[in-house]
């Protein structure tokens, strides 16, 4: 009955819209909360309305951009009542770029929002009730800008100008962001110079539509502590006209680059890297230090993007792991071995696994350099190694995972439930997959604490460390 009534109401509303179909539909919405992409969410006739840039508590006039069966997307036209937490976004291309989603929200509130998103995900995906007080306050930054150690910028051309930047939100327009405020200025300097070099030498830039041209992407990574910089040029071919000249110009104009590499990607893909990486000049890797622990990083290896917050993140893992020196530890999804090395001196044995072979090689070298001999790294998926280790009789006391956004594979989680380590520590960059994976472990484990750490200020990305203990 109710549903029928609702249907009728919906038809009426649609009818009204159709009558004025040439005019955009405007609505007055009160924003109730924020969603996972930092958008404001209000309601219109019980349907959720998503408005990018609107804040909780605000009354906004919006224009409907698209109506779906279950929700509406709308663009903000005017703010009628402004939130006291609204601040002026300092970046000129904030709205067009879309790389940041929270610059208009006071930083303390960004931190509160991130904690809240974890709570929302748990409420949504974990069947068992979770006490909200176990989620701690988000650990933030004093200066939440200039923090990123790596930039990956697409190269394009608009008329006669070379552009180095990112594709705007949901569009194929390249936005110049060589002055990005969340990037370390040294990475911006490299991008800016590269733009000039490519223009001066007239190197053909890659055109997605025609699938032609040479230079696609420039990736810059800086070691904050060491000052070393790696520049990776992603091109469609290994050899191309003026390649030697390009290398010479980079050496001349960017002497701060200590490692210059070339990666070849000739696929029609949104993935940055292709299979093959070549050394052009300088070293083949850069070094970075986190709290005196040194790491060698090769081009393809993952490394956390915010070094200052990474130290806080790893220290938090160390704190909840409470190792005594007797434990066997697994560092799953180990990258260049960072977490395992952070804990090695307090553990009996550490095993890590990772799919990118270069990262595993880096991990081994990093352990060797530190003179750590109780860690072992393996190439392959976490879900294939863990069952193998179990069969061999390896029974870890603590398992730490740090998976990509997609979360852990089911096979992995099932094996964890069979091994039953005393502690399971989940470092997550995605509250939704975190909550789903936690739900899968609830029959055997109890959530003790969740500590959000702000790795990406100004964006809606949420990182956290969850401690689970065997029931």
- Supply the minimum distance, in Å, between the C-beta of residue 135 and ligand SAH: 21
- Supply the minimum distance, in Å, between the C-beta of residue 306 and ligand SAH: 11
**Alpha helices, H only, 276-356:** 307-321, 338-343
For ligand SAH, give the closer residue by CB, 83 or 338: 338
- Supply the minimum distance, in Å, between the C-beta of residue 128 and ligand SAH: 26
- Supply the minimum distance, in Å, between the C-beta of residue 88 and ligand SAH: 34
From 100, 180, 408, 429, active-site residue: 429
Binding status of residue 290 toward ligand SAH by CB under 6 A: no
Stretch of residues binding ligand SAH (CB under 6 A), selected from 18-26, 47-55, 184-192, 402-410 = 402-410
Binding status of residue 407 toward ligand SAH by CB under 6 A: no
- Dist. CA 263–CA 244, nearest whole Å: 15
For ligand SAH, give the closer residue by CB, 34 or 339: 339
Binding status of residue 464 toward ligand SAH by CB under 6 A: no
The dihedral through the CA atoms of 365, 368, 369, 370 has a sign that is positive
For ligand SAH, give the closer residue by CB, 101 or 310: 310
> In the 8-state DSSP scheme, what is residue 308?
H
Q: Draw the binding track, 382-401, toward ligand SAH (x: CB under 6 A; -: no contact).
A: xx------------------
Binding status of residue 194 toward ligand SAH by CB under 6 A: no
Stretch of residues binding ligand SAH (CB under 6 A), selected from 107-115, 126-134, 380-388, 459-467 = 380-388
For ligand SAH, give the closer residue by CB, 374 or 384: 384
- Dist. CA 115–CA 117, nearest whole Å: 5
Stretch of residues binding ligand SAH (CB under 6 A), selected from 37-45, 142-150, 167-175, 377-385 = 377-385
Q: What count of other Cβ atoms lies within 10 Å of the Cβ of residue 226?
A: 14
In terms of residues, how long is the chain? 471
CB distance 245 to 214 below 8 Å:
no
Q: Which of 431, 447, 427 is nearest to 115 (CA)?
A: 431
Binding status of residue 304 toward ligand SAH by CB under 6 A: yes
- Supply the minimum distance, in Å, between the C-beta of residue 239 and ligand SAH: 29
Distances (CA, A) of 446 to 122, 134, 202, 302, 441: 13, 11, 60, 30, 8
**Alpha helices, H only, 126-215:** 185-201
Distances (CA, A) of 142 to 51, 139, 180, 381, 457: 29, 10, 19, 37, 11
Q: E strands along 84-226, which residues?
A: 150-158, 161-167, 174-176, 215-222
Candidate list 9, 82, 404, 405; residue touching ligand SAH; CB under 6 A: 404
- Dist. CA 422–CA 403, nearest whole Å: 20
Stretch of residues binding ligand SAH (CB under 6 A), selected from 106-114, 180-188, 195-203, 375-383 = 375-383
- Supply the minimum distance, in Å, between the C-beta of residue 318 and ligand SAH: 13
For ligand SAH, give the closer residue by CB, 339 or 343: 339
For ligand SAH, give the closer residue by CB, 397 or 463: 463
Q: Which of 335, 332, 272 is nearest to 298 (CA)?
A: 335
Residue number of the CB closest to ligand SAH reads: 335
CB distance 420 to 395 below 8 Å:
no
**Edge-to-edge, what's the strand order for the sheet holding 215-222?**
174-176, 161-167, 150-158, 215-222, 229-235, 257-264, 276-282
The dihedral through the CA atoms of 407, 181, 216, 244 has a sign that is negative
Q: Draw the binding track, 318-357, toward ligand SAH (x: CB under 6 A; -: no contact).
A: ---------------xxx--xx-------------xxxx-
Binding status of residue 413 toward ligand SAH by CB under 6 A: no
Binding status of residue 286 toward ligand SAH by CB under 6 A: no
Q: Is 440 helix (H, G, I), strand (E, B) or coil?
A: helix
State the number of binding residues for ligand SAH (CB under 6 A): 20
- Supply the minimum distance, in Å, between the C-beta of residue 304 and ligand SAH: 5
408 - beta bridge partners? none
- Supply the minimum distance, in Å, between the C-beta of residue 158 and ligand SAH: 34
Candidate list 215, 219, 359, 450; residue touching ligand SAH; CB under 6 A: 359
- Dist. CA 32–CA 48, nearest whole Å: 10
For ligand SAH, give the closer residue by CB, 246 or 341: 341
Binding status of residue 302 toward ligand SAH by CB under 6 A: yes
91 is a catalytic site residue: no
- Dist. CA 463–CA 114, nearest whole Å: 8
Q: Could you list the residues that contact ligand SAH (CB under 6 A)?
A: 302-304, 333-335, 338-339, 353-356, 359, 381-383, 402-404, 409
| Enzyme catalytic residues | 429
């Amino acid at each position: 009955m109710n549903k029928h009534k609702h249907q009728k109401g919906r038809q009426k509303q649609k009818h009204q819209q159709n009558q004025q179909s040439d005019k955009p539909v405007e609505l007055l919405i009160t924003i109730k909360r924020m969603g996972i992409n930092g958008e404001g969410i209000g309601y219109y006739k019980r349907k959720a309305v998503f408005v990018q840039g609107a804040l909780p508590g605000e009354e906004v006039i919006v224009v409907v951009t698209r109506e779906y069966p279950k929700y509406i997307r709308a663009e903000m036209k005017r703010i009628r009542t402004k939130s006291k937490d609204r601040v002026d976004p300092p970046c000129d291309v904030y709205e067009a770029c879309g790389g940041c989603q929270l610059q208009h929200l006071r930083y303390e509130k960004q931190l509160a929002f991130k904690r809240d998103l974890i709570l929302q995900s748990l409420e949504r995906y974990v069947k068992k009730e979770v006490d909200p007080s176990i989620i701690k306050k988000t650990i933030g930054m004093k200066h939440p800008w200039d923090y990123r150690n790596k930039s990956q910028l697409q190269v394009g051309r608009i008329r006669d100008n070379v552009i180095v930047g990112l594709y705007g939100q949901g569009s194929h327009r390249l936005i110049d962001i060589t002055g990005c405020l969340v990037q370390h200025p040294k990475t911006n300097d490299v991008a800016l110079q590269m733009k000039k070099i490519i223009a001066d030498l007239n190197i053909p830039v890659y055109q997605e539509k025609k699938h032609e041209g040479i230079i696609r992407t420039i990736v810059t990574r800086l070691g904050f502590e060491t000052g070393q910089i790696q520049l990776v040029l992603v091109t469609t071919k290994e050899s191309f006209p003026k390649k030697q000249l390009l290398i010479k110009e980079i050496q001349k104009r960017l002497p701060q680059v200590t490692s210059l590499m070339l990666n070849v990607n000739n696929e029609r893909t949104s993935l940055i890297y292709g299979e093959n990486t070549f050394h052009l000049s300088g070293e083949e890797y850069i070094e970075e230090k986190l709290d005196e622990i040194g790491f060698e990083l090769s081009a393809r290896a993952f490394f956390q993007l915010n070094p200052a917050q990474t130290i806080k993140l790893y220290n938090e893992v160390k704190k909840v792991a409470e190792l005594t020196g007797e434990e066997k530890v697994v560092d799953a999804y180990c990258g260049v071995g960072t977490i395992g090395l952070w804990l090695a001196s307090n553990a009996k044995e550490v095993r890590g696994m990772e799919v990118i072979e270069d990262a595993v090689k880096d991990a081994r070298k990093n352990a060797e350099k530190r003179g750590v001999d109780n860690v072992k790294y393996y190439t392959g998926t976490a879900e294939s190694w863990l069952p193998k280790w179990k069969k061999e009789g390896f029974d870890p006391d603590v398992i730490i995972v740090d998976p990509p956004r997609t979360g852990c594979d089911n096979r992995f989680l099932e094996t964890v439930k069979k091994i039953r380590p005393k502690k399971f520590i989940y470092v997550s960059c995605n509250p939704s997959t975190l909550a789903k994976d936690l739900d899968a472990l609830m029959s055997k484990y109890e959530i003790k604490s969740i500590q959000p750490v702000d790795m990406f200020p100004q964006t809606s990305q949420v990182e956290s460390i969850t401690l689970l203990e065997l029931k």
